[in-house]
Amino acid sequence: MTTPGSALTVGLIAPGKIGLPFAANLIADGYTVLGYRRGSMADFEAIGGKPAASAREVAERVDVIYTCVTSADALDVVIGGDRGILAAGRSDLLVVDVGAMALSRKEAAREALLTGGITMLDAPVSGTPPMVAERRAVVFASGDETAFERVRPALGAMGSIVYTGEFGSGSKMKFVANTLVAVHTAVAAEAITLAKAMGLDLRSVIERINPSAAASTMFKVRAPMMAEGLSRPVKGTVAGMVDVMDAIKATAIEAGATMPLLSVTQKICEEACAQGYGEEDIAVIASVLGSESIKAVTKGIETVGAAG
């Protein structure tokens, strides 16, 4: 049996696409998970989670809280709102944020928690909800190493863990990883679109490219879906990728890095969202590349025959 405040009782705000399978794995590992989010908690309760009425209540009843919100604005409310974590008046809490947002905003959240004596770790997840459910995601954890060792077993419920060092380095690693995922997916879509336009047999193309130096993990995973015009099963949504790219670009601006390929990829993904594909797998962008509307979206980008 576990009791509130014990090492096997944790808080989770908010159990959504990533948080829900994380919670399910924690519960399977013997943890009691107290959770809060706005809206129905029926799916969370169905897997054995214990609902709370607010982030403050979660903070009052546990020693470790995992935050998995969808934006920096939401995290600010969770921390400093009238019914937020700081309102509980606890200085012995550990908060672990597993979401992705502009690094400056996450650092600001850390500073806000420090005013209440609360330690925060940065531990974003690289992986899709199914990967989390199957414990195949990668957690890039950063911050105080002693605090990290305290939560290492629980973070393992999502998959493998990489400790990257000082606070914020975890987010930086995730941004590098997701830049590659986004751009590699876009290039795979463009390659499949080209092969189709030239009249090649797409299955044959995939069979020949996969063992070659030209292949990538995203090509191997999503090219077959693109060839069949599929956008399910959803391994990662277009809308979710747009959100991550927003965070990457915001942090890149702060760092003084230019991201032309990511910027083009984001335009393509935003057009996919505009066409109603936001909740489909990002493989769907291959269909978007074949649409007339994409020409306007990518206007100004040099095309074959435009120069030379």
Which sequence positions are flagged as catalytic?
Answer: 174
Amino acid 60 reads E
Angstrom distance (rounded) from CA 239 to CA 196: 26
Query: CA 103, 104, 109: angle at the middle one, nearest 5?
Result: 95
Identify the CA nearest to 260 among candidates 274, 270, 249: 249
Percent helix, strand, coil in the chain (nearest 5)? 50, 15, 35
- What does the DSSP 8-state code read for residue 281? B
Name the one residue in this structure whose structure tokens are 């995973």.
Answer: 221
| Residue 61 phi, psi (nearest 5) | -115, -10
CA dihedral 57, 59, 60, 61 (to 10 degrees): 90
b (16+ CB within 10 A) / e for 185-212: bbbbbebbbebbeeeeeeeebbeebeee
Angstrom distance (rounded) from CA 141 to CA 73: 22
Angstrom distance (rounded) from CA 122 to CA 129: 19
